[in-house]
Structure 1
Amino acid sequence: MTKATILTDRFDRALLYATHVHGGQTRKGTAIPYVAHLMAVAGTVLEYGGDEDLAIAALLHDSVEDQGGKARLEDVRNRFGERVARVVEACSDSLADTGAGERKAGWQERKDKYLAHLKTADEDILRVSLADKVHNARAILRDLRKPEIGEKIWSRFSQPKERTLWYYTSLADIFRKKLPGQLAEELGEIVAVLKKG
Protein backbone atom coordinates (compact mmCIF):
# COMPACT_ATOMS: atom_id res chain seq x y z
CA MET A 1 0.00 0.00 0.00
CA THR A 2 1.36 3.41 -0.92
CA LYS A 3 1.70 6.19 1.61
CA ALA A 4 -1.20 8.67 1.70
CA THR A 5 -0.55 12.21 0.50
CA ILE A 6 -1.04 14.64 3.35
CA LEU A 7 -2.41 18.03 2.34
CA THR A 8 -1.19 20.94 4.42
CA ASP A 9 -2.17 24.58 4.79
CA ARG A 10 -0.25 25.22 1.52
CA PHE A 11 -3.06 23.40 -0.31
CA ASP A 12 -5.66 25.44 1.60
CA ARG A 13 -3.88 28.65 0.61
CA ALA A 14 -3.68 27.51 -3.01
CA LEU A 15 -7.41 26.79 -3.11
CA LEU A 16 -8.17 30.23 -1.69
CA TYR A 17 -5.74 31.77 -4.17
CA ALA A 18 -7.34 29.92 -7.11
CA THR A 19 -10.80 30.96 -5.96
CA HIS A 20 -9.64 34.58 -5.76
CA VAL A 21 -7.85 34.53 -9.12
CA HIS A 22 -10.76 32.88 -10.94
CA GLY A 23 -13.51 34.54 -8.89
CA GLY A 24 -16.65 35.10 -10.94
CA GLN A 25 -15.39 32.97 -13.85
CA THR A 26 -17.58 30.15 -15.13
CA ARG A 27 -16.93 27.19 -17.42
CA LYS A 28 -17.47 27.99 -21.11
CA GLY A 29 -21.17 28.19 -21.93
CA THR A 30 -22.28 27.14 -18.43
CA ALA A 31 -23.11 28.56 -15.01
CA ILE A 32 -20.61 26.19 -13.35
CA PRO A 33 -18.02 28.11 -11.29
CA TYR A 34 -14.59 27.74 -12.88
CA VAL A 35 -13.10 26.66 -9.57
CA ALA A 36 -15.13 23.42 -9.85
CA HIS A 37 -12.89 22.45 -12.79
CA LEU A 38 -9.75 23.32 -10.83
CA MET A 39 -10.85 21.22 -7.86
CA ALA A 40 -11.71 18.29 -10.15
CA VAL A 41 -8.28 18.44 -11.81
CA ALA A 42 -6.56 18.59 -8.40
CA GLY A 43 -8.68 15.67 -7.21
CA THR A 44 -7.76 13.62 -10.27
CA VAL A 45 -4.06 14.39 -9.79
CA LEU A 46 -4.28 13.16 -6.19
CA GLU A 47 -6.28 10.06 -7.17
CA TYR A 48 -3.59 9.09 -9.69
CA GLY A 49 -0.53 9.42 -7.48
CA GLY A 50 0.27 13.12 -7.46
CA ASP A 51 1.61 14.81 -4.36
CA GLU A 52 0.69 18.14 -2.74
CA ASP A 53 2.85 20.22 -5.11
CA LEU A 54 1.14 18.68 -8.12
CA ALA A 55 -2.31 19.13 -6.59
CA ILE A 56 -1.47 22.80 -6.03
CA ALA A 57 -0.21 23.10 -9.60
CA ALA A 58 -3.50 21.56 -10.73
CA LEU A 59 -5.47 24.19 -8.80
CA LEU A 60 -3.39 26.93 -10.41
CA HIS A 61 -2.83 25.44 -13.88
CA ASP A 62 -4.93 28.10 -15.64
CA SER A 63 -4.05 31.04 -13.41
CA VAL A 64 -1.15 32.23 -15.55
CA GLU A 65 -2.64 31.65 -19.00
CA ASP A 66 -6.03 33.15 -18.18
CA GLN A 67 -5.38 35.58 -15.37
CA GLY A 68 -2.17 37.53 -15.47
CA GLY A 69 0.64 36.08 -17.57
CA LYS A 70 4.22 36.37 -16.37
CA ALA A 71 3.39 38.60 -13.40
CA ARG A 72 0.96 35.96 -12.15
CA LEU A 73 3.57 33.24 -12.70
CA GLU A 74 6.06 35.14 -10.51
CA ASP A 75 3.39 35.49 -7.82
CA VAL A 76 2.70 31.74 -7.98
CA ARG A 77 6.46 31.06 -7.73
CA ASN A 78 6.82 33.34 -4.69
CA ARG A 79 3.82 31.85 -2.92
CA PHE A 80 4.10 28.15 -3.78
CA GLY A 81 7.64 27.47 -4.95
CA GLU A 82 9.61 26.66 -8.07
CA ARG A 83 8.22 23.18 -8.76
CA VAL A 84 4.60 24.40 -8.71
CA ALA A 85 5.47 27.39 -10.90
CA ARG A 86 7.34 25.22 -13.40
CA VAL A 87 4.34 22.90 -13.84
CA VAL A 88 1.88 25.81 -14.06
CA GLU A 89 4.03 27.49 -16.70
CA ALA A 90 4.34 24.25 -18.67
CA CYS A 91 0.54 23.76 -18.65
CA SER A 92 0.00 27.16 -20.28
CA ASP A 93 -0.17 27.10 -24.05
CA SER A 94 0.25 30.85 -24.50
CA LEU A 95 2.44 32.27 -21.75
CA ALA A 96 5.51 32.61 -23.94
CA ASP A 97 3.44 34.38 -26.58
CA THR A 98 1.75 36.96 -24.42
CA GLY A 99 2.62 39.75 -22.11
CA ALA A 100 0.54 42.66 -20.99
CA GLY A 101 -1.50 43.82 -23.93
CA GLU A 102 0.01 41.35 -26.40
CA ARG A 103 -2.12 39.02 -28.50
CA LYS A 104 -1.92 35.26 -28.31
CA ALA A 105 -0.57 33.33 -31.26
CA GLY A 106 -3.16 31.63 -33.45
CA TRP A 107 -4.99 28.54 -32.21
CA GLN A 108 -3.20 26.04 -34.48
CA GLU A 109 0.24 27.42 -33.68
CA ARG A 110 -0.43 27.31 -29.93
CA LYS A 111 -1.80 23.77 -30.06
CA ASP A 112 1.08 22.51 -32.23
CA LYS A 113 3.60 24.00 -29.78
CA TYR A 114 1.78 22.52 -26.79
CA LEU A 115 1.65 19.06 -28.34
CA ALA A 116 5.35 19.22 -29.22
CA HIS A 117 6.10 20.36 -25.67
CA LEU A 118 4.21 17.42 -24.15
CA LYS A 119 6.38 14.99 -26.11
CA THR A 120 9.41 16.08 -24.05
CA ALA A 121 7.64 17.02 -20.78
CA ASP A 122 8.46 15.34 -17.50
CA GLU A 123 6.04 13.26 -15.45
CA ASP A 124 5.00 16.15 -13.17
CA ILE A 125 3.80 18.20 -16.14
CA LEU A 126 2.19 15.22 -17.83
CA ARG A 127 0.20 14.28 -14.70
CA VAL A 128 -1.35 17.73 -14.33
CA SER A 129 -1.94 18.22 -18.04
CA LEU A 130 -3.54 14.79 -18.43
CA ALA A 131 -5.86 15.37 -15.45
CA ASP A 132 -6.89 18.70 -16.99
CA LYS A 133 -7.57 17.23 -20.43
CA VAL A 134 -9.50 14.27 -19.01
CA HIS A 135 -11.75 16.57 -17.01
CA ASN A 136 -12.32 18.78 -20.05
CA ALA A 137 -13.14 15.74 -22.20
CA ARG A 138 -15.53 14.38 -19.54
CA ALA A 139 -17.32 17.75 -19.47
CA ILE A 140 -17.68 17.78 -23.27
CA LEU A 141 -19.09 14.24 -23.24
CA ARG A 142 -21.47 15.01 -20.37
CA ASP A 143 -22.90 18.03 -22.18
CA LEU A 144 -23.00 16.25 -25.53
CA ARG A 145 -25.29 13.68 -23.89
CA LYS A 146 -27.65 16.32 -22.48
CA PRO A 147 -30.66 16.61 -24.81
CA GLU A 148 -30.83 20.37 -24.31
CA ILE A 149 -27.19 20.80 -25.43
CA GLY A 150 -26.11 17.88 -27.64
CA GLU A 151 -24.20 18.93 -30.76
CA LYS A 152 -24.49 22.60 -29.73
CA ILE A 153 -21.57 21.87 -27.39
CA TRP A 154 -19.16 22.42 -30.27
CA SER A 155 -20.21 26.05 -30.67
CA ARG A 156 -18.53 26.81 -27.33
CA PHE A 157 -15.13 26.33 -28.93
CA SER A 158 -13.21 28.75 -31.11
CA GLN A 159 -12.57 25.97 -33.62
CA PRO A 160 -15.01 23.62 -35.38
CA LYS A 161 -15.72 20.16 -34.01
CA GLU A 162 -13.21 18.48 -36.36
CA ARG A 163 -10.31 20.67 -35.19
CA THR A 164 -11.23 20.28 -31.53
CA LEU A 165 -11.37 16.49 -31.94
CA TRP A 166 -8.06 16.51 -33.83
CA TYR A 167 -6.49 18.23 -30.82
CA TYR A 168 -7.97 15.79 -28.29
CA THR A 169 -6.99 12.81 -30.44
CA SER A 170 -3.42 14.13 -30.62
CA LEU A 171 -3.37 14.64 -26.85
CA ALA A 172 -4.65 11.12 -26.20
CA ASP A 173 -2.00 9.62 -28.49
CA ILE A 174 0.80 11.49 -26.70
CA PHE A 175 -0.43 10.66 -23.20
CA ARG A 176 -0.81 6.97 -24.06
CA LYS A 177 2.86 6.93 -25.06
CA LYS A 178 4.32 9.26 -22.43
CA LEU A 179 2.20 8.43 -19.34
CA PRO A 180 0.50 5.11 -20.07
CA GLY A 181 -2.12 3.90 -17.66
CA GLN A 182 -5.78 4.05 -16.74
CA LEU A 183 -6.16 7.84 -17.04
CA ALA A 184 -4.51 8.05 -20.47
CA GLU A 185 -6.71 5.17 -21.63
CA GLU A 186 -9.79 6.96 -20.32
CA LEU A 187 -8.92 10.05 -22.36
CA GLY A 188 -8.57 7.91 -25.48
CA GLU A 189 -11.88 6.17 -24.79
CA ILE A 190 -13.73 9.46 -24.30
CA VAL A 191 -12.26 10.87 -27.51
CA ALA A 192 -13.38 7.74 -29.41
CA VAL A 193 -16.95 8.24 -28.12
CA LEU A 194 -16.88 11.95 -29.01
CA LYS A 195 -15.80 11.12 -32.55
CA LYS A 196 -18.73 8.73 -32.94
CA GLY A 197 -21.18 11.17 -31.38
Structure 2
Amino acid sequence: MALSAAKQAVVDAYNEATARTKEHFRHVPSLIEQYKPEVAVGYVFDCASAAHNATIVAGLVTKHKAHRAVAREVAVFQECAWDEFHYEYQTVFGSVIPEAVSILFGEANELRRALLSGKRVSSKDQCGLIIQMLQYADALDEFVYADARIHPFADLSSAKPRGSSLDKSSTRWVLKGMGFPIL
Protein backbone atom coordinates (compact mmCIF):
# COMPACT_ATOMS: atom_id res chain seq x y z
CA MET A 1 0.00 0.00 0.00
CA ALA A 2 1.39 3.39 -1.01
CA LEU A 3 1.72 6.09 1.62
CA SER A 4 0.14 9.49 1.23
CA ALA A 5 2.55 12.34 0.45
CA ALA A 6 2.29 13.63 4.03
CA LYS A 7 3.04 10.22 5.55
CA GLN A 8 5.92 9.71 3.12
CA ALA A 9 7.32 13.08 4.21
CA VAL A 10 7.34 11.79 7.82
CA VAL A 11 9.25 8.67 6.79
CA ASP A 12 11.70 10.82 4.81
CA ALA A 13 12.22 13.17 7.78
CA TYR A 14 12.78 10.17 10.04
CA ASN A 15 15.40 8.80 7.63
CA GLU A 16 17.18 12.18 7.64
CA ALA A 17 17.27 12.40 11.46
CA THR A 18 20.38 11.65 13.51
CA ALA A 19 21.04 8.10 14.67
CA ARG A 20 20.09 8.97 18.28
CA THR A 21 16.79 10.49 17.20
CA LYS A 22 16.05 7.48 15.00
CA GLU A 23 16.75 5.11 17.89
CA HIS A 24 14.65 7.09 20.35
CA PHE A 25 11.71 7.39 17.93
CA ARG A 26 12.29 3.98 16.33
CA HIS A 27 8.59 3.09 15.98
CA VAL A 28 7.61 6.19 13.98
CA PRO A 29 7.90 4.57 10.52
CA SER A 30 5.78 1.54 11.42
CA LEU A 31 3.20 3.65 13.29
CA ILE A 32 2.85 6.11 10.43
CA GLU A 33 2.50 3.27 7.91
CA GLN A 34 -0.03 1.20 9.88
CA TYR A 35 -2.18 3.73 11.75
CA LYS A 36 -3.64 7.20 11.58
CA PRO A 37 -1.06 9.95 12.18
CA GLU A 38 -2.58 10.80 15.57
CA VAL A 39 -1.19 7.52 16.98
CA ALA A 40 2.32 8.57 15.97
CA VAL A 41 1.66 12.05 17.41
CA GLY A 42 0.97 10.53 20.83
CA TYR A 43 4.06 8.37 20.52
CA VAL A 44 6.47 11.20 19.63
CA PHE A 45 5.22 13.34 22.52
CA ASP A 46 5.60 10.42 24.95
CA CYS A 47 9.14 9.90 23.67
CA ALA A 48 9.93 13.60 24.05
CA SER A 49 8.53 13.62 27.58
CA ALA A 50 10.68 10.61 28.50
CA ALA A 51 13.74 12.39 27.10
CA HIS A 52 12.90 15.56 29.03
CA ASN A 53 12.62 13.62 32.30
CA ALA A 54 15.81 11.63 31.62
CA THR A 55 17.70 14.85 30.86
CA ILE A 56 16.65 16.41 34.16
CA VAL A 57 17.61 13.23 36.07
CA ALA A 58 20.98 13.02 34.29
CA GLY A 59 21.66 16.68 35.04
CA LEU A 60 20.78 16.29 38.70
CA VAL A 61 22.99 13.21 38.97
CA THR A 62 26.00 14.46 37.00
CA LYS A 63 26.00 18.16 37.81
CA HIS A 64 24.58 18.20 41.34
CA LYS A 65 25.64 14.70 42.48
CA ALA A 66 22.06 13.82 43.38
CA HIS A 67 21.22 10.27 44.40
CA ARG A 68 19.81 8.68 41.22
CA ALA A 69 16.77 7.06 42.88
CA VAL A 70 15.66 10.32 44.50
CA ALA A 71 16.26 12.31 41.30
CA ARG A 72 14.23 9.77 39.32
CA GLU A 73 11.41 9.90 41.90
CA VAL A 74 11.23 13.67 41.54
CA ALA A 75 11.27 13.54 37.73
CA VAL A 76 8.53 10.89 37.60
CA PHE A 77 6.42 12.79 40.15
CA GLN A 78 6.91 16.05 38.28
CA GLU A 79 6.17 14.56 34.79
CA CYS A 80 7.14 17.91 33.37
CA ALA A 81 5.24 19.70 30.66
CA TRP A 82 7.21 21.81 28.21
CA ASP A 83 7.07 25.01 30.25
CA GLU A 84 8.20 23.11 33.33
CA PHE A 85 10.99 21.38 31.40
CA HIS A 86 12.21 24.74 30.14
CA TYR A 87 12.28 26.08 33.71
CA GLU A 88 13.75 22.89 35.21
CA TYR A 89 16.46 22.77 32.55
CA GLN A 90 17.44 26.32 33.43
CA THR A 91 17.39 25.46 37.15
CA VAL A 92 19.48 22.30 36.77
CA PHE A 93 21.94 23.37 34.07
CA GLY A 94 21.95 27.17 34.44
CA SER A 95 21.31 27.71 30.72
CA VAL A 96 18.30 28.80 28.71
CA ILE A 97 17.13 26.59 25.85
CA PRO A 98 17.51 28.68 22.66
CA GLU A 99 14.40 30.21 21.14
CA ALA A 100 14.96 28.38 17.84
CA VAL A 101 14.65 25.05 19.68
CA SER A 102 11.74 26.26 21.82
CA ILE A 103 9.76 27.38 18.79
CA LEU A 104 9.95 23.93 17.20
CA PHE A 105 8.38 22.33 20.25
CA GLY A 106 5.94 25.17 20.93
CA GLU A 107 4.33 25.09 17.50
CA ALA A 108 4.04 21.30 17.54
CA ASN A 109 2.58 21.38 21.04
CA GLU A 110 -0.12 23.86 19.99
CA LEU A 111 -1.30 21.44 17.31
CA ARG A 112 -1.16 18.55 19.78
CA ARG A 113 -3.32 20.49 22.24
CA ALA A 114 -5.85 21.22 19.50
CA LEU A 115 -5.94 17.53 18.65
CA LEU A 116 -6.37 16.53 22.30
CA SER A 117 -9.20 19.02 22.80
CA GLY A 118 -11.15 17.46 19.94
CA LYS A 119 -10.54 20.12 17.33
CA ARG A 120 -10.15 19.01 13.74
CA VAL A 121 -6.49 18.76 12.76
CA SER A 122 -5.84 17.46 9.25
CA SER A 123 -3.66 14.40 8.66
CA LYS A 124 -1.26 16.63 6.76
CA ASP A 125 -0.90 18.95 9.77
CA GLN A 126 -0.45 15.96 12.10
CA CYS A 127 2.31 14.64 9.86
CA GLY A 128 3.90 18.10 9.87
CA LEU A 129 3.78 18.05 13.67
CA ILE A 130 5.62 14.71 13.74
CA ILE A 131 8.28 16.07 11.37
CA GLN A 132 8.67 19.13 13.59
CA MET A 133 9.11 16.91 16.66
CA LEU A 134 11.86 14.95 14.91
CA GLN A 135 13.58 18.25 14.06
CA TYR A 136 13.08 19.39 17.67
CA ALA A 137 14.72 16.19 18.94
CA ASP A 138 17.78 16.75 16.75
CA ALA A 139 18.01 20.44 17.75
CA LEU A 140 17.53 19.79 21.49
CA ASP A 141 20.05 16.94 21.42
CA GLU A 142 22.62 19.16 19.72
CA PHE A 143 22.06 22.04 22.17
CA VAL A 144 22.06 19.93 25.35
CA TYR A 145 25.19 18.07 24.28
CA ALA A 146 27.01 21.33 23.57
CA ASP A 147 25.78 22.76 26.88
CA ALA A 148 26.10 19.81 29.25
CA ARG A 149 27.69 16.88 27.37
CA ILE A 150 24.44 14.90 27.71
CA HIS A 151 22.44 13.43 24.84
CA PRO A 152 18.74 13.67 25.86
CA PHE A 153 17.64 11.19 23.23
CA ALA A 154 20.18 8.52 24.22
CA ASP A 155 20.19 6.05 27.09
CA LEU A 156 21.04 8.18 30.12
CA SER A 157 20.84 5.38 32.69
CA SER A 158 24.63 5.27 32.98
CA ALA A 159 25.09 8.99 33.74
CA LYS A 160 27.29 9.29 36.82
CA PRO A 161 28.63 12.15 38.90
CA ARG A 162 32.32 12.80 39.24
CA GLY A 163 33.09 11.35 42.62
CA SER A 164 30.38 9.95 44.83
CA SER A 165 26.70 10.85 44.95
CA LEU A 166 25.02 12.56 47.84
CA ASP A 167 23.00 10.35 50.15
CA LYS A 168 19.22 10.30 49.79
CA SER A 169 18.54 12.76 52.60
CA SER A 170 21.05 15.33 51.36
CA THR A 171 19.74 14.94 47.81
CA ARG A 172 16.20 15.70 49.00
CA TRP A 173 17.41 18.92 50.64
CA VAL A 174 19.35 19.99 47.55
CA LEU A 175 16.37 19.31 45.29
CA LYS A 176 14.02 21.12 47.67
CA GLY A 177 16.35 24.13 47.57
CA MET A 178 16.22 24.01 43.77
CA GLY A 179 12.42 24.22 43.90
CA PHE A 180 11.55 20.61 43.11
CA PRO A 181 8.58 19.09 44.94
CA ILE A 182 9.83 16.56 47.47
CA LEU A 183 7.62 13.74 48.70
* TM-score, with structure 1 as normaliser: 0.28
User: Which protein has the larger Cα radius of gyration, Structure 1 or Structure 2?
Assistant: 2
Query: Could you say which structure has the greater relative contact order, defined with CA pairs below 8 angstroms and 6 or more residues apart?
Result: 2
